[in-house]
Homo-oligomer: A and B are copies of this chain.
Amino acid sequence: MLKDVQFPERPEEEELKIRLKAAREKLQAQQLRLKEHKTPVLVLVEGWGTAGKGSLIGELITNIDPRFFKVASMTVPTEEEKRKPFLCRYFEKIPEAGKFAFLDSGWMDEITEGVLNGELNEKQYQMKIDSIRRFERQLTDNGYLVMKFFCHISKKEQKKRIEELCSDIDTSWRISDKDKWQNKHYEKCLSVFDRYMEDTNSPSDPWYLLDCKSKRWAELQALETLTQGIEIAMQNARLAVPLLQNTFPLKKLPKLSEIPLNKELTDEKYKEELDRLQAQLKELHNRLYRKKVPVVIVYEGWDAAGKGGNIKRITQALDPRGFEVHPIASPEPHEKARHYLWRFWTRLPKTGHIAIFDRSWYGRVMVERLEGFCSENDWKRAYNEMNEFEKELHDFGTVIIKFWVQIDKDTQLARFEERQNTPGKQWKITEEDWRNREKWDAYEVAVNEMLQKTSTTYAPWHILESVDKKYARIKALKIVIEELEKVLK
């Protein structure tokens, strides 16, 4: 792409002026329509050092109301950021519906830099490319407009700029060693950039190269391309996109109706096991911390199945500085305004930590599906999106443990009634619980589909038979211990 790009000629001064004015006005006018249309716009600005990425963003945003955009300048990941999957810090930055986010270099720079300094070998590079393709496709599929710009200048031009900036003490600090290195190894960088852009140039997320030899000409190209992209995005209402075939290895699970629920433990046996297993988990948690393994534990299950009590038996064994429980209710407005996985990407555990999700992203294919909170295409696409999400976590080294806490309909009824009739427990039962109960059969269909489609070998579901809560708790502890031991050995 970059190697054989041929830019159109810079227009004459008079034409440039007229077109710049028109393009600026267009962007100004678009921002309100965009807000109405609820399209989020992510503008990624990559490019050569000294090509003028920062000042280009500066020019673009003068046309947008400050309430409608955010700018993030992404540098090398900090030590803290390195403790989460690499896409995490980019996912955090995605804009809300109807707003802009500008990134001053981003995931491209991180990858090409990794290749150039030898940190990424071919296989790792390929994995990152896969991750990025999925990431960008997920954004587009979920209604994001992703505009990827690359600011291009020639080797000669870059050299000239570096020399000019370096010659003045007031500007020389703006030149980094990286810029100098880049210019010295311009051809090598060019071919790494070129390959990256070829590898990530998809029809729905194409690259746009900007000729940055002249500042206002660069601004014009960016403005015209950006406004054109916005115009097109707004022509489309809700978009249904192809459902991809599953390519992740799956583990077969039984249907809910096939699971025997007669398993139980005596009080005595329970007590004994609980003490032993909690002691064991406590010890593992320390090793986990030292070995810097991140852990995600997901609890899903019927209302009154006993998730809370089960989670408590796990956390009792953990050092409070090393875990967090995230109770997941319906999303807040600022969460709803973003990709549905955003509120989970931003709650990921860092290395050595455990995050326990009391309900999770799987709401997409259960409550959101059944209550019509998202389109059919949305929830059907979500199985793959969630497998991709967990693949990202897994590739980073995260241990993922997913529990489905299972009871039968009669047990639920008995527990509901007990809650209703026990003054101290009445807060635990709401009208909504009763309404959901009425939809038990529809939920069962959805849960079965979810268990079949998202039980990957790297993040399988485990069934906790919870008619006897004691049995379920011991089983959960055993599974957590087993999974942790696998990575700690």
Contacts and interface: CB of A to CB of B under 8 A. Distances in A.
A203 B1 contact: no
Contacts of A228: 243, 380
B4 A242 contact: no
Nearest to A133: B203
Contacts of A245: 206-209, 225
Interface string A226-250: 0011001101110111111111111
Nearest to A239: B236
B235 A9 contact: no
B202 A247 contact: no
Given A9-B252, A249-B6, A250-B8, A203 B242 contact: yes
Interface in A360-412: 377, 380
A204 B204 contact: yes
Contact of A141 (B203, B205, B236, B241): B203
A18 interface: no
Contacts of A208: 245
B242 A206 contact: yes
A235 B238 CA distance: 9
A76 interface: no
Contacts of A209: 245
A14 B243 CA distance: 26
Contacts of A282: none
A240 B236 contact: yes
A242 B8 contact: no
A203 B249 contact: no
Contacts of A241: 203-204, 232
A329 interface: no
Contact of A243 (B5, B6, B9, B232): B232
A204 B206 contact: no
A195 interface: no
A137 interface: yes
Given A4-B249, A235-B377, A249-B6, A229 B242 contact: yes
A236 to B, nearest CB: 5
A132 to B, nearest CB: 13
Nearest to A242: B206
A241 to B, nearest CB: 7
B240 A232 contact: yes
Contacts of A9: 252
Contacts of A380: 228
Nearest to A203: B137
Given A137-B203, A203-B204, A239-B236, A1 B377 contact: no
A229 B232 CA distance: 23
A244 B206 contact: yes
A242 B5 contact: no
Nearest to A381: B232
| Residue picked from A141, A225, A236, most chain B C-beta under 10 Å | A236
Given A4-B249, A203-B202, A235 B240 contact: yes
A245 B210 CA distance: 10
A232 B377 contact: yes
A242 B232 contact: yes
Given A239-B236, A240-B232, A240-B235, A4 B247 contact: yes
Contacts of A229: 242-243
Contact of A202 (B1, B202, B225, B233): B202
A232 B379 CA distance: 13
A47 to B, nearest CB: 14
B204 A242 contact: yes
B203 A6 contact: no
A249 B228 CA distance: 22
A152 B38 CA distance: 43
Contacts of A377: 232, 235
26 contacts: A1-B247, A6-B246, A6-B249, A8-B246, A8-B452, A137-B203, A140-B203, A202-B203, A203-B203, A203-B204, A204-B204, A204-B241, A204-B242, A206-B242, A206-B244, A206-B245, A225-B245, A228-B243, A232-B240, A232-B241, A232-B377, A235-B240, A236-B236, A236-B240, A237-B237, A239-B239
Given A205-B242, A206-B244, A229-B242, 18 more contacts: A4-B247, A5-B247, A6-B246, A6-B249, A140-B203, A202-B203, A203-B203, A203-B241, A206-B242, A206-B245, A207-B245, A208-B245, A225-B245, A229-B243, A232-B241, A232-B243, A233-B240, A237-B237
The 6 closest A-B pairs by CB, nearest first: A235-B240, A232-B240, A6-B249, A137-B203, A208-B245, A206-B244
